[in-house]
Structure 1
Amino acid sequence: MKLTVKRNGFSLLTAVLIVLVLLVSACSNSSGNGKTNVNQTVEGKGDTEKKGDTEKKGEKKVLKVAFFQGGFGDSWFKELKTQFEAKHENVTVELEGDPGIMEKMGPRFESGANLPDVAFLTNTNWQMWAARGFLSDLTDVYEGQGLDGVTIKESLNDAARQYALYQDKAYIIPWSDGLLGMAYNKGMFEENGWKVPSTWKEFAVLAEQIKAKGIAPIVYPGKVVGYWDFVVKPMMVQAGGSEFLEKLLNVDSPDVYGDPARLAALQQFEAIFKNKWTLKGSEALNHTEAQMEFVNGKAAMIPNGNWLESEMKASTPEGFRMAMMPVPAVDNAKEKDVFFSMVGDITVVPAKAKEQELAKEFIIFASSKEMNRKFTELTGNFRPFNYSLEGLKVSEFSQSVMDIMQNNKPFTFNTNNPMFIKMKMYPSGDAYGNIVFGSKTAEQQYNDDLKFAKDKWEEYKKEVGMK
């Protein structure tokens, strides 16, 4: 009897303990709605372990971002820093803005010391850096999914897409773009009922109308005669098309300098001076002085780029309205709807950078539509991606630039071909200066270029190491 009681007491105590354990277990595993989630203990443990691992992996990191401190300022980079850090709580973005960064990056690549993780640089012969192993391969970024559901490759414009490649790999992602061409006094045009010319025949009629008003059709910076590239190069591409441009930049024969497209563009350029369509005294002006004459209404048009408005902001009279126009098409143009793209500035990740993957993530973030729009909003300039300005407060001038960029085919003269670099655009000398000052006609310049290219072909081939 005693033994039986003892056994029954033990059994009762055991039962009570079991019930208590079950109740405690149920309470600890109870979900917020009072129900017990049988999977919660396992899942909770897994989440805790995962969070711990993430914290270990997500240790505090510093991403070093270097950039050229120039015309775009630093507001966009500060915005990138703020937004990227907000999305990456363990990351601090350390900005290095430097106007002289281009002179410093070469030595830094050479030594491997004091390297940024990602750098936004200006146009350079970056292919040499790639060939020497200084740059990380960004093909996975270029071809990988971006933040907007498409690849960066797909979101870039044609000129930028091609520019990113070297030996079929992407070592850079272009980061800025713009337009080189002709700006015009929009207020003056509207006041006089003048239409923007789409061809040089229409331009000729317009120029005479402008002259009749006592205004010069065009002012240009004679001391920086290279600004005429912004007009003449588009005319060459119009006349010869993309096929001609590819042949010229590849320059595998001197005969390309005898292409009729070159003569057509130079002759149209010559017509500007034969017909006295320029402001008298332009040959003595630098670029700032020429731009001052333009905003002061002394001339209706000026060869220039999309930086014109911001560069002249402090000097532009109140109420002055300017816009960019497509370069008028030459006669019998093969491709009318083209524009001279400024793409050339590059984003790179040094091969020896510490935070490789984080740097790539930063580039992808910077290439999103949101940050592209923010770039235009903050700087008044443009990115080489397809995006809209709708809803942004941008100037009439900026909108005209974007309209041209989105409705015309971009081209550039970027090339790493050693023969073209050696021969140059005009092998026999300064075509614009020769034609402007009358030392050569357009046809003489054209013939001299072809002759020079043929005479020097074999010599230059040996110098640049071509077989």
Structure 2
Amino acid sequence: MGSTSAHDNEGLGRRNLIKRSAALGLIAVPTMGFLSACATGGDGGDDKKTDAPKGETSEKNPLGVKNGVALEAFIFKGGLGDQYAKDAEADFKATYKAEVKHTGTQEVGPKLTPRFAGGNPPDVIDNSGAGHLDMNKLSSQGQLQDLAELLDAPSLDDPAKKVRDIIHPSTLEKGKHGDVFDVLYYAFTIYGTWYSQKLLDDKGWTYPKTLDEMVTLCGEIKKEGIAPWTYAGKYPYYVHFNLFAQIAKIGGMDAWMAIDNLQPNAWTGNDAVKEVVEHYEELAAKKYFLEGSQGLTHIQSQTAWNKRKAVFIPNGSWVENEAAPTTPKDFGMAVGALFDGSGDKHPHGTLRAEPSEPYIVASKGKNPRGGMELLRIMLSKEHAQNFATKVKSLTCVVDAPEGMTLSPGLASANKVFKEAGENLLSLQLQEWYPALTDEKLGGLTGQLLTGELKAAEWIKKAQAEADKVAKDDSVTKFQRTS
């Protein structure tokens, strides 16, 4: 994940199978084999560090970074790796004559929960992967640096433009907790149905436009002795990258926002939910998923897909970099937009594309200004293009890939992104309530795809789980209006 999410060995952020339950406010209680990402410590925003170092501000140092003050960066090292961050850190080190302590890890939450609780967090964190830190809780505790100064600082490439002017508008919206912008989603993930263009061309198949066409094509694919679909059965929330967005495309964003906002009957009263979940029930009933997919990790499912054991896989654009070790050179990795259903509220070509890979700066770190400056460096065109080259993924920097020679998957992602125009969907449920979506609903989806659960029961139980969260006063709630 990422980039939402999560994926325990990826960039999205995206998208994390975790149980958020803390014991004694410090030690996470393992559930389903995963550690909680719930950090505690501190009792609100009035307790912010006041002795953080500050240097003289200038045209070249608008954030007032103090020379020579060390910076600590904690970077999720999954499908995107962490070299791109090291490259930006090298520029920071050269500019500010400061040491940078870099940690690359796949265990952000388990390693940093006690540090936040103890009041000594690192300065800047790429908070991704399974077991990431609970940003909702950190924000409510005043643990996250307000990044307004970063947004209002001049961009590195063009001082006439502020940082806020060079990043995608959805990045500004997604990074807010209430009215405070305290999370910078650095990557920009294209979600969808991924496939090999070469395989489709070799077989004379065409990427389907509608849900019905997909079912028909699956029948043809199965006759060829290939599984139409595979998925990360160990982490079935991967399927939500498509399933949730498909609901939003058909039913419209107003209906989806009711789901994001945990409103009563948001699942059970939405016809699009019924249509989409029944579609997945049909795929399962006709055995259109690769046998054994329920036992595969994301890496194993991607490897099976690369070996032509399955045609389609639901994923995010980090997959090209993550699956690179097993991807044939002539694979022709590509991604397709969402399918049309009946009476769609959004046009053909609509795409789920949204900010991912959440970066945070600790307000109680030793050098929060340095943390913000590192992000400003990463948002330069040079480093945005370096990210695209190294990890085959877009960043939130608008138009950064222009003029570049892109890898097949990234070129395809960029193409469908441009074709979608303003018809882009951004969903919050997996970001705001990952314990609900990834554990509870993920468990239901796992049963749906093996045929153990019918669509009607999935919907009924999904609503019940959402209602539980809505009534749980211990869970911070968020509301969206657009």
TM-score, normalised by the number of residues in structure 1: 0.75
1:387–1:95 CA distance, 2 compared to 1 (3 A): farther
Give distance in 1, aligned partners of 2:193 and 2:148: 36
Is 1:310 matched with 2:321?
Answer: yes
Q: Which residue of 2 aligns with 1:215?
A: 226
User: Which is richer in helix?
Assistant: 1
What is the letter of the counterpart of residue 302 of structure 2?
Q
What is the letter of the counterpart of residue 413 of structure 1?
Q
Give distance in 2, aligned partners of 1:60 and 1:290: 46
> Do the aligned residues in 2 keep the contact of 1:217 with 1:300 (CA within 8 Å)?
yes
Structure 1 position 392, deviation (Å): 2.8
Give distance in 1, aligned partners of 2:294 and 2:231: 7
Q: Which residue of 2 aligns with 1:359?
A: 371
> Do the aligned residues in 2 keep the contact of 1:239 with 1:334 (CA within 8 Å)?
yes
**Unpaired runs of at least 5, structure 2:** 1-57, 59-64, 478-482
Give distance in 1, aligned partners of 2:118 and 2:472: 32
Structure 1 position 236, deviation (Å): 0.9
Structure 1 position 229, deviation (Å): 1.3
1:103–1:281 CA distance, 2 compared to 1 (3 A): closer
**Deviations 1:100-139 (CA, angstroms, capped at 9, x unpaired):** 34323332233233x4333333254213222212222211
Give distance in 2, aligned partners of 1:340 and 1:144: 30
1:111 pairs with one of 94, 118, 124: 118
Q: Which residue of 2 aligns with 1:72?
A: 80
Structure 1 position 296, deviation (Å): 1.8
Equivalent pairs counted in the alignment come to: 404
What is the letter of the counterpart of residue 367 of structure 1?
L
Is 1:133 matched with 2:148?
Answer: no
Give distance in 1, aligned partners of 2:161 and 2:312: 39
| Aligned-residue RMSD, C-alpha | 3.3
Q: Which residue of 1 aligns with 2:102?
A: 96
Worse-superposed segment, 190-199 or 338-347: 338-347
Give distance in 1, aligned partners of 2:233 and 2:458: 19
> Do the aligned residues in 2 keep the contact of 1:183 with 1:325 (CA within 8 Å)?
yes
What is the letter of the counterpart of residue 316 of structure 2?
G
Q: Which residue of 2 aligns with 1:120?
A: 126
Give distance in 1, aligned partners of 2:329 and 2:375: 39
**Unpaired runs of at least 5, structure 1:** 1-49, 51-56
Is 1:413 matched with 2:424?
Answer: no
SS at structure 2 position matched to 1:103: helix
Is 1:371 matched with 2:392?
Answer: no
1:159–1:136 CA distance, 2 compared to 1 (3 A): same
Worse-superposed segment, 376-385 or 308-317: 308-317
Give distance in 1, aligned partners of 2:294 and 2:417: 30
Structure 1 position 396, deviation (Å): 0.6
Structure 1 position 224, deviation (Å): 3.5
Give distance in 1, aligned partners of 2:398 and 2:389: 15
What is the letter of the counterpart of residue 174 of structure 2?
Y
Give distance in 2, aligned partners of 1:119 and 1:215: 42
Give distance in 2, aligned partners of 1:429 and 1:301: 19
SS at structure 1 position matched to 2:143: coil
What is the letter of the counterpart of residue 440 of structure 1?
L
**Deviations 1:369-407 (CA, angstroms, capped at 9, x unpaired):** 221111111222332332242333431112112333444
**Deviations 1:217-251 (CA, angstroms, capped at 9, x unpaired):** 22234443333212211211112222122111112
Give distance in 2, aligned partners of 1:321 and 1:374: 22
Q: Which residue of 2 aligns with 1:166?
A: 177
Give distance in 2, aligned partners of 1:304 and 1:422: 19
Worse-superposed segment, 63-72 or 373-382: 63-72
Q: Which residue of 2 aligns with 1:23?
A: none
**Deviations 1:411-439 (CA, angstroms, capped at 9, x unpaired):** 1334676xx67865897884323333333
> Do the aligned residues in 1 keep the contact of 2:189 with 2:394 (CA within 8 Å)?
yes
> Do the aligned residues in 2 keep the contact of 1:120 with 1:175 (CA within 8 Å)?
no
> Do the aligned residues in 2 keep the contact of 1:157 with 1:410 (CA within 8 Å)?
no
Q: How does 1:336-347 map to 2 (within 5 A)?
A: 336=347, 337-341=349-353, 343-347=355-359
Worse-superposed segment, 212-221 or 324-333: 212-221
1:361–1:424 CA distance, 2 compared to 1 (3 A): closer
2:396 pairs with one of 384, 400, 413: 384
> Do the aligned residues in 1 keep the contact of 2:354 with 2:425 (CA within 8 Å)?
no
1:463–1:137 CA distance, 2 compared to 1 (3 A): closer
Q: Which residue of 2 aligns with 1:445?
A: 458
What is the letter of the counterpart of residue 81 of structure 1?
E
Structure 1 position 210, deviation (Å): 2.6
Give distance in 2, aligned partners of 1:370 and 1:391: 12
TM-score, normalised by the number of residues in structure 2: 0.73
Q: Which residue of 2 aligns with 1:269?
A: 280
SS at structure 1 position matched to 2:395: coil
Larger Cα Rg: Structure 1 or Structure 2? 1
> Do the aligned residues in 2 keep the contact of 1:326 with 1:404 (CA within 8 Å)?
yes
Worse-superposed segment, 241-250 or 276-285: 276-285
Give distance in 1, aligned partners of 2:399 and 2:202: 32
What is the letter of the counterpart of residue 200 of structure 1?
L
Worse-superposed segment, 396-405 or 144-153: 144-153
> Do the aligned residues in 2 keep the contact of 1:258 with 1:447 (CA within 8 Å)?
no
> Do the aligned residues in 2 keep the contact of 1:130 with 1:171 (CA within 8 Å)?
yes
Structure 1 position 187, deviation (Å): 0.5
What is the letter of the counterpart of residue 408 of structure 2?
E
> Do the aligned residues in 1 keep the contact of 2:260 with 2:427 (CA within 8 Å)?
no
Give distance in 2, aligned partners of 1:385 and 1:59: 27
Give distance in 2, aligned partners of 1:78 and 1:400: 27
Give distance in 2, aligned partners of 1:465 and 1:401: 34
Give distance in 1, aligned partners of 2:127 and 2:464: 38
Structure 1 position 186, deviation (Å): 0.9
Structure 1 position 465, deviation (Å): 8.8
Q: Which residue of 1 aligns with 2:51?
A: none
Structure 1 position 184, deviation (Å): 0.8
What is the letter of the counterpart of residue 451 of structure 2?
G
What is the letter of the counterpart of residue 76 of structure 2?
F
Structure 1 position 355, deviation (Å): 3.4
Aligned identity (percent) is 22
1:441–1:68 CA distance, 2 compared to 1 (3 A): closer
1:355–1:452 CA distance, 2 compared to 1 (3 A): closer
Worse-superposed segment, 147-156 or 269-278: 147-156
